[in-house]
Structure 1
Amino acid sequence: MAGPLKSLKVLDFSTLLPGPYATMLLADMGAEVLRIEAPDRVDLTKVMPPFDGKFSTAFSYLTRGKDTLQLNLKKEGAADKVKELVKDYDIVVEQFRPGVMGRLGIGYETLREINPGLIYCAITGYGQTGPYKDRAGHDINYLSIAGVSSHCGRADSGPPPMGIQIADVAGGSHHAVMGILAAVIERQQTGKGQFVDISMTDAAFALNAMSGAACLAGGVEQKPEGGMLNGGSFYDYYQTSDGRWLSVGSLEPQFSARLCDALGLPEMKSQALSQKPDDQKQLKTAIQERVREKTLVEWQEIFAGQDACVEPVLTISEAAEHPQLKARGMVIEVDRGDGEMQRQSGNPIKFV
């Protein structure tokens, strides 16, 4: 694809989600990406239902815009092939446990001797150092270790299994792209490449953001439903009469006033501004009682003309048809490899 990264070439040794998502973003922005695929080791995303055509929908999505080279890295001559390739590439992305690429004869120290400008990004669960560096893990584990899960969910039911892979994507993939592009800028100044060490647990820990700041500097440990933004205030989800959900984020005074008016609760405007738990609890109860009186569509019609930070909870298929996401080109059609077109999520980064 044409794009601002069209001068960059990426060798992608990653599988599953974090690395492939990161290199997909790079490809979307114009980078030339070559996937190194093991012919004798199946990428789980390739065989994970549902399927559309020959491959799974996840695999088709994560490999878009990339070329593929099948290469068994354990076979004689494979390392030599990689060493020859790396002479002409800017970036290597890999997702093995620490030391694996080195044992295969194509670790960072070896490849940087061939290409001093090489930017080498390793994405792992726990990073290249520390007592957990060789430990297995998945998204749910990284979020748990990083403290994220401890203040998500409801007080009486504990942390929920998230609907998206937060540590993998928001942590690993996005931070990898940021690190890689920062290294590209550094190389433009010095001509030197570097090793980018991305830990999905580190990234998830950083995602704690405001709750992390409150704990580390202020000594305030956030609990589920214990803060303004995690269920401790009227900033929450409310069930409608038809079993759907409405999101209410009307925190600022002008928004909460409009919310109370639209719900027929003008007498509760002062409670919306109160920090007292009892006031917030009473307001939440009142909002839920009112929201339950109408269907989601009815509430959408009521709040359509209201600038009150109230929106419906949509399914993915509904979101794909939302006029805002359609206007932003967030659903695209891509050739799935057999001449048939497949709908996919578009790149969220726009260049105008």
Structure 2
Amino acid sequence: MQALAQLKILDFSTLLPGPYASMLLAHMGAQVLRVQAPRPDMVKFLPPQIQGQSAAFWQLNAYKQEIALDLKQAQDVAKAKSLIQEYDIVIEQFRPGVMQRLGLDYETLAALNPRLIYCSITGYGQTGPYRERAGHDINYLALSGLADYSRRQNQAPVPQGTQIADIAGGSHHAVMSILAAVIQRQSTGQGQHLDISMTDAAFALNAMTGAAALAGGEAPSAENGWLNGGTFYDYYATSDGRYMAVGSLEPVFLAKLLETLAISADYLPLFQDFDPKSQTQAKALLTQAFQQQDFAYWCARFAQVDACVEPVLTFTEACQHPQIQARALIDQRLGFPQLSPPFTLQDQPEATT
């Protein structure tokens, strides 16, 4: 039996945060019915197109069922309400107040089904002065403080390669909250309204640096921390312009790093001194060492050394990496390659879209 086979989810969301959350739940066995509105999901039209919809849309929705509803039409709103008797979880991603105007807010639907778990994913949450303000991933990261210290000193913040606030903030926190609410419902018999704010969740990702700053420590800023470029824990260019990632913080790994790079062990205290001047010197030694050989050389060299040093791969290279392949992270069940779910459960569902 699939892990979440008893859960039936009515998903009103589009784009990324909600669909990614319901995708994860579908991979765990939940029955997800995606509501297709007259205004189509823009993700569906991204390139490349496969069988009339984008590869990204397939990724997010291949394990869900679909129903077409125009929520501006009374008969379709009535149809959605009738589904609430059967579907006990709702995911929606509209701005606060929209579902209320449609007659599909939590209070209305909970009156029809008190066991309903209703998850609202928004940029800023259901309360506060920004509750109705538009935003995207880049805005939530900016307001959370993360973007400011995730950059080089005296350089502009860099747009991230993936949507951190949308996924790590919205999608993952939605899934965790939904599953927690399901467990609580088993004891109480009652559902609840879950208020997921992507800005809240992004702010919470400041866990280590934020905790230190709030306790009276130094506020995080560009390249002033152990893990954001303030130490030798960093990326280093090879002679041909590729990069190696060095995370050799522990003494045993640091010793192996210096040995592999032919840097004298006499410099070990320099690397372990977290004074900024010492770290600047340590990084200069690593920069010079990595510049002596090309990317292929260092890949081969560190493949034999357990020192927390890995190559910075392109996505194509990552797909071909033996660890990625051994973990079966490329899903071929649709007849074309997609990303597999990053967890293993018995009896995972088949694609349906």
Give the TM-score normalised by structure 1: 0.96
Cα distance in 1 for residues equivalent to 2:94 and 2:343: 28
- Structure showing greater relative contact order (alpha-carbon pairs closer than 8 Å, 6 or more residues apart): 2
Deviations 1:152-197 (A, max 9, x none): 1100213111111000000000000000000000000111000110
- Show the 5 A alignment for 1:28-43: 28-39=27-38, 41-43=39-41
CA distances 1:235-271 after superposition (whole Å, capped 9, x unpaired): 0001111211100000011111110110010232121
Match of 1:184 among 179, 182, 185: 182
Q: Distance in 1 between matches of 2:13 and 2:325?
A: 31
State the secondary structure of the residue aligned to 2:151: coil
**Alpha-carbon distance in 2 for matches of 1:205, 1:174:** 14
Q: 2:170 aligns with which of 158, 169, 172?
A: 172
* Partner of residue 63 from structure 1, selected from 61, 64, 84: 61
Question: Which residue is 1:19 aligned to?
Answer: 18
Q: Does the 8 A contact of 1:158 with 1:224 survive in 2?
A: no
Which amino acid in the other structure matches residue 292 of structure 2?
E
Taking the aligned partners of 1:234 and 1:51, their CA distance within structure 2 comes to: 43
Asked whether the 8 Å contact 2:28–2:345 carries over to 1, the reply is no
Please state if 1:253 is matched with 2:247: no
Structure 1: how far apart are the matches of 2:174 and 2:209?
Answer: 23
Deviates more, 1:198-207 or 1:234-243: 234-243
The equivalent of 2:349 in structure 1 is none
Q: What corresponds to 1:276 in structure 2?
A: 275
Show the counterpart of 1:338.
none
What is the CA distance between 1:305 and its match in structure 2?
A: 1.7
Question: Any idea what the Cα deviations from partners look like across 1:14-37, whole Å, max 9, x if unmatched?
Answer: 000000000000000000000001
1:302 corresponds to:
301
Give the residue type in structure 2 aligned to 1:279: S
Following the alignment from structure 2 to structure 1, what is the Cα–Cα distance between the partners of residues 57 and 78? 28
Indicate the SS of the match to 1:250: coil
Residues 1-352 of structure 1: pairs in structure 2 closer than 5 A: 3-39=2-38, 41-266=39-264, 267-335=266-334, 341-351=335-345
Which SS does the other structure have where 1:203 is aligned? helix
Q: Secondary structure at the match of 1:197?
A: strand
Question: What is the CA–CA distance in structure 2 between the aligned matches of 1:102 and 1:150, rounded to whole Å?
Answer: 36
TM-score, structure 2 as length reference:
0.96
- What's 2:350 paired with? none
Aligned length: 345
| Runs of 4+ displaced beyond 3 Å | none
| 1:124 CA displacement | 0.1
Q: What per-residue deviation string (whole Å, max 9, x for no partner) do you get for residues 312-352 of structure 1?
A: 011111111211122222111132xxxxx121111112237
SS in 1 for 2:15: coil
How much identity, in percent, do the aligned residues show? 55
Which whole-Å CA distance do the structure 2 matches of 1:97 and 1:76 have between them? Answer: 20
Secondary structure in 2 matching 1:224: coil
Give CA deviations for 1:59-78 in whole Å, capped at 9, x if unaligned: 11111200111111001211
Q: Is the 8 A contact 1:152 1:158 kept in 2?
A: no
CA contact (8 A) 1:98 1:128 kept: yes
Question: Is this contact kept in 1: 2:137–2:163, CA < 8 A?
Answer: yes
Q: Which runs of 5+ in 2 are unaligned?
A: 347-353
Paired residues of 1:125 and 1:138 also in contact (CA < 8 A) = yes
**CA distance in 2: counterparts of 1:344 and 1:294, whole angstroms:** 35
The amino acid across from 1:185 in the alignment is: I
Alignment-mate amino acid for residue 235 of structure 2: Y
Q: Is the 8 A contact 1:123 1:199 kept in 2?
A: yes
**Separation in structure 2 between the aligned mates of residue 88 and residue 76 of structure 1, nearest angstrom:** 20
2:351 maps to what in 1? none
| Cα deviation, residue 54, structure 1 | 1.4
For structure 1, the residue ranges without an aligned partner over 5 or more in a row are 336-340
SS of the equivalent of 2:124 reads coil
